[in-house]
Each structure stands twice: as C-alpha cells, then as structure tokens.
Amino acid sequence: MDEQTALVLALQLVALFSIAGALLLYLLCKIKPESGVESEESSPGAGKPVLVTSCDNAIGLQIALHLADRGYRVFAGLKDGAASGDSNDSASARVIRGWLKHRESLASISLQGTIVALPLDVNREDLLHESVDIIRAHLPAGKDGLWAVINTSGVMYRGRLEQQDVTHWDAILRTNVVGMLRVARTFQTLLRSSQGRIITLGNSEGEEAGLVAYTASRYAIQGASNALREELATSGVKVITLNPKGLSMDFMLTTPKLISKPDAEVSVDIFGHLEFQPIVLPPSALHVVNVAITCGNPKRNYTLLKKQLWRKPLHIFTA
C-alpha cells in the first residue's frame, strides 16, 4: 500500500468514526424520561427541612407523608394545632400521629425523615410568626433555614357567579392569594439563609363553569409567583409553580377521611400507616414533586400529571 492510499484510508476511517460518534451523541440526547422531567432528582431528603403549609387537605397530607418517607424533616401545618396534642382529633392529625408512632417502632433502623406538626393558618399572622419560632426550635444546632416551603393551603366553592355569596369570593381570594403572599413574606428569611424554594399550585390552564372566583385566584397565584420569582432571584430563593391540570381540585383540597373496616376499626396499610382517602397524586406526580424540590436548577413550572391522563376521570389513585 502506497503512502497516498494509506492517507486516504486513514481519512475515511476518521470520517466514519466521527459520523458514528455524532450518531451516538444524537441518540443519547433524544432519550428522555417519559414524564418530561428529569429522570431523577439531584439528591434525597437527607433530613432537609421542608414546610407544608396545610396538611388539613388531601394533597398537603399526601405530600407531607411522601417527603417524610423520603428522609425530609417535614413541618406539617394544621389549623387546629399540633398533631401531638390531644385536642386535634382530625383525620390528618391522627394519620400524622400514627406515622410518628410507626416510625418510633423502627428505632433500630437509621431513618432521617420525621414530621413536626405545628399550628398554622395562612389567614392568621400570629400563627404564621409562631410557626417560624417553632421551626427554628426544631432545626439542628447551627441551622437556621428551610429548604422548601410548599404552599398547599387553599379553598374553593362551586356555583354559578350569580348564585354565589360575596363572602365566598372573599374567602377564596383571602386564603388562596393573600395567604400565599403572607406565606412568602413570613418565610423569606428562613429561605434566604438556605437559598431554598417556594413551591405553589398554579393555574390548570383551563376554565370551568361554576369556578369563576376560584379560577381567578389560581391565575393570580400564577402571576404573583412569576413576579415573586424575579423579586427573589438575587437572593437565591427559587419560586416554582406546579400545574395541576387534569387533577380534581375538589379532591385535592378536600378534608381527608380515615378508611374504616366493616367493624369500624381504622384500616392500616402494609407499612403500618393509617389509611386515608382520597389519595390524589399518582406516583408519576409525586416524582414531579421530588424533582421540583431537589433539582439544583429547577424549571419555573412543572405539570404534575402526564398529558395522556388529562382527560381521564382519575381522582383517587392507589400507591
């Protein structure tokens, strides 16, 4: 083989390997998780402190238990007081107490997650400021910050606008919009020190008859979150909205109920937890929550439910 032929052959081999490499890189870039979000969150809970503003509703209770199971130190807001007290006999309080009791029975296993219930109502400034003191008292020595605040507080009333009482509008806007602003203002200091994040439920990108005032509140939350994101950007605090499109807000904001057996005993699942309903978020939506709460460079908005499930009547999911 002469020198010129060898040179041509070498160039052909280089071109062939370059094409193969480019094709491989293209295929790797095309492979994405089915859910449309990152394949896995950046890190597990590892005892990071997270506040869920309302566990009095189904979505808040489910998220709080999910994050505690994943190793987070979850501060669970309850309007009627701390779950450790005897005065609160709500289903949410009983589920949290049951979770803590079961966790105590596993003391021999090294587990980081826990739940600290505290009195919190987004419409009451005194309870909001009191919750800051409670959170600080339960943080490890030398720590003074929250990793995330997840605002699950909210109310809704169905009914045609002409038939609704103005007091319903006031309650919706006061809790959903003004309450969200109060939460953001109250916990900014704890979030700045850890460069944490505020997570809210945004609008569902759709309108429904009978929910005019509620829909207005959701669009207001979305707009406020967008503006707040710009305002807090220099402090390192991230603001994320979760799009609940395809999920029933009636079920998400409803008061949980314990599941009882025919003999009136409360059902317990295989993990020793008291069972409750409704379970509103499927595993894929909980994965989106995981990504939103842990990703180092999160998106501004995440959709909780996969697009192919939007039109299906899915309101209660199994674990």
- pLDDT score, position 273: 77
Segment 245-256 shows an average pLDDT of 90
Residues 6+ apart with CB under 8 A from 312: 246
Cis peptide bond N-terminal to 278, omega within 30: yes
pLDDT of residue 62 exceeding 90, the answer is yes
Q: Which CATH architecture has domain 46-309?
A: 3-Layer(aba) Sandwich (3.40)
Can you give the residue ranges of every domain in the chain?
46-309
The pLDDT of residue 18 is 63
Tell me the CB-side half-sphere exposure of residue 104, using CA atoms within 13 A.
Answer: 7
Query: Angle 58-69/283-294 helices, nearest 10 degrees?
Result: 70
Strand order in the sheet with 73-78: 114-119, 73-78, 49-52, 148-151, 197-201, 238-243, 301-303
Band the pLDDT of 124: cuts 50, 70, 90.
very high
Question: Residue 177, Cβ neighbours under 10 Å: how many?
Answer: 19
The sign one gets for the Cα dihedral 127, 221, 91, 190 is negative
- The pLDDT tens digits for 293-318 are 999 999 999 999 876 554 544 445 54
